Amino acid sequence: MKSNLRTSILAICTTGLLAGCMSEKIATGQGMCDPDHTERLIGLVNPSDRQIMDLTGATTVRRANEGQPMTMELIPFRATVIMDAESGEVTRANCS
């Protein structure tokens, strides 16, 4: 019984602490990657993370080369850019 109570209290406290660490941008729905804006990235050569975030509204960036394996989790505030390994040109981009 005491063990269940301790576990419940720990879960509640941990949830509260994690919520306190959440970025205000993300908590309010701002900072979400806009899929309609990812096509602006296609054709750019070696864009900076800041440029990618400014163009898409994303708060994080993931880069990969063509054919490179990636995880498939959806993260709404992240922009993913697929680039040609030799030229650095963005060939595909999405929010994930």
- Give mean pLDDT in consecutive 10-residue pieces for the chain, a chain of 96 residues: 57 51 48 95 98 97 97 95 98 97
pLDDT score recorded for residue 24: 44
Same domain flag for 3 and 44: no
Same domain flag for 18 and 39: no
Number of structural domains (the chain) is 2
Same domain flag for 11 and 44: no
CA distance 92 to 12: 41
Same domain flag for 56 and 9: no
Same domain flag for 73 and 87: yes
**Domain enclosing residue 12, as ranges:** 1-26
Residue 62 in contact with residue 78, Cβ under 8 Å? yes
Same domain flag for 71 and 90: yes
DSSP of 21-44: HS-HHHHTTTT---GGGGGGGTT-
Same domain flag for 8 and 42: no
